[in-house]
Structure 1
Amino acid sequence: MSTAPLRIALLFLLAAVPPVAQARPIAPDLAGSSYDSADDGAGNVGRDFALPYIQCVPYARQVSGIQLYGDAHTWWDQAAGRYARGTRPKAGAVMAFRPYGAMQLGHVAAVSRVIDSRTVLLRHANWSPIDGRRGQPEDNVRAVDVSPANDWSEVRVWYAPLGGLGTTHWPVEGFIYNRKPLPNERLTVLASAEAPKAAYTSRIGPDFLKGIVPETTRTPTRRPLAARDNGKPRIEEREDRTLAVSPSLARDPIGRIIASRVR
């Protein structure tokens, strides 16, 4: 049997099979495990946004050089003993926000410039939606201290959709500096706190009556009028009369002295 008809049949079968679909590359999920905070920094939580989606934590770590990981609200405690911390803004420091409202995971932002005692510029990500998309970086945006004591415990932050500062007073833990804490920094913090009041210590020692022999109570005797000076009792008679009126003073020589001054 000729092989030509068989070849023709095979060609027809191959032509009937649809071509294999080409594999399409899958875009990497920039909001996945390499980005360790699910907080969007502006009161919204989630990862269902257009790519690329940059979280606040890896961006702050990149621009500040502070090597801390985990959700933003853990940075302040993580920094203890590893990085210096304080309440004054400095260029390169990270401002650590506390969780507040729907911003359950906190937020971190790097200080790029200090303008004055109440104003800084920040570099951070995933705060303002830009071009309708969250997870975007922002550089050199304004943050203003609105705390009553000017201790940077509350700030207002630039919000792009408003074209100005947002109205929320965001609570701040403080600033993390990219250096090791000094040996005396912990002592400085403790010294600034109110010192406990020392217990009162009496200056009178336990032996202040040592060597003093208490007098015994004597029976008062009335001297005749002739023995009195100009009709007034002698000093001896006045002492006897005092002992008779208050026998307890005989056992308290200090009390006798006080009583003689106040009569």
Structure 2
Amino acid sequence: MRGGTIFCGAIAAMLAGAMSLPAQAESLLDYVGQCVPFARAASGIQIFGDAWTWWDQAEGRYQRGDTPKVGAVMAFAKQSRLPLGHVAVVSRIVDGRVLMLTHANWSRQNGERGHAEQDVTVYDVSDDNDWSEVRVWYRDSDGLGSTTYRVNGFIYPDRKTKAARELTGKQPDYVGALIDAYR
């Protein structure tokens, strides 16, 4: 199954007041869990609740837009394959239609979901080149998944907020990202 059903939301009461990753995660990339606490820790954007609610919650609190910027949160819309939405942090901009995300709880690793993934390829497939529809690299298919996902837009962190140091790798595979997107 390519682009399988993704379940991503908040870890209810346990993490409701958390401002960072759970203590068992020594580094951002060691994290295993839901996308929401991961995106909050990676971006510094302090929004809580299911991923699909982030876009509306950001209104009036954070700048929002349709232009990707490193450190911004890409807010995926609630849809059949993403019943709780999804949030991921922009780690690199490759070209006008390709970027890289760092996120958690997307692909399966060792047969389980929840793991963090760094510098994952995302391809803008929207007709207007506005990042409203994307395809995301999916480990199970070792390439871009076949599903197109709707995106509300990008939530930008405050200027004083710093993204996590492991947001991007030292040598991301730009060429691989372009090949995945344009083949």
Find out whether 1:86 has 2:86 as its counterpart: no
Equivalent residue for 1:159? 138
**Aligned pair partner of 1:137 in 76, 97, 116:** 116
Task: Please report how far the alpha carbon of residue 33 of structure 1 lies from its aligned counterpart in structure 2 after TM superposition.
Answer: 3.2
Deviations along 1:62-82, one digit per CA (max 9) or x if unpaired, are 010101000001100000011
RMSD: 1.5
Residue pair 1:73, 1:97 contacting (<8 A) in 2 also: yes
Residue 23 of structure 2: aligned partner: none
Contact 2:47-2:57 within 8 A present in 1 as well = yes
Q: For structure 1, which runs of at least 5 residues remain unmatched after alignment?
A: 1-30, 37-51, 181-263
1:33 maps onto 2:19 in alignment: no
> Any conservation in 2 of the 1:91–1:111 contact (CA below 8 Å)?
yes
Measured against aligned partners, the alpha-carbon deviations of 1:203-247 in whole angstroms (never above 9, x if no partner) come to xxxxxxxxxxxxxxxxxxxxxxxxxxxxxxxxxxxxxxxxxxxxx
Cα deviation code 1:79-126 (max 9, x no counterpart): 001100000000000000001114211000000011111011101000
Unaligned residue ranges in structure 2 (runs of 5+): 1-10, 17-30, 160-183
Divergent runs of 4+, >4 A:
none
- Which structure: greater strand fraction? 2
Match of 1:150 among 107, 129, 137: 129
Amino acid at match of 2:137: W
Q: Which amino acid aligns with 2:14?
A: S
Tell which has more relative contact order, 1 or 2 (C-alpha 8 A, sep 6+): 2
TM-score relative to the length of structure 1: 0.49
The count of residues paired between Structure 1 and Structure 2 equals 135
Alignment partner of 2:87 out of 86, 108, 112: 108
Asked if the contact 2:32/2:116 (under 8 Å) is kept, the reply is: no
Deviations 1:3-43 (A, max 9, x none): xxxxxxxxxxxxxxxxxxxxxxxxxxxx663346xxxxxxx
State the alpha-carbon separation in 2 of the partners of residues 110 and 153 from structure 1.
Answer: 16
Q: Which has the higher helix share?
A: 1
Distance 1:99 1:147 in 2: 17
What does the per-residue CA deviation read over 1:127-164, in whole Å, with 9 as the maximum and x for residues that have no partner? Answer: 00011111111011100000010000000001001110
CA distance in 2: counterparts of 1:55 and 1:155, whole angstroms: 20
Q: If you compute each CA radius of gyration, which structure gives the higher value, 1 or 2?
A: 1
- State whether residues 76 and 151 of structure 2, in contact with CA within 8 Å, keep that contact through their aligned partners in structure 1: yes
Q: How many percent identity over aligned positions?
A: 56
Give the match's secondary structure for 1:171. strand
Does the 8 Å contact 1:35/1:57 carry over to 2? Answer: no
Q: What residue is the counterpart of 1:238 in the other structure?
A: none
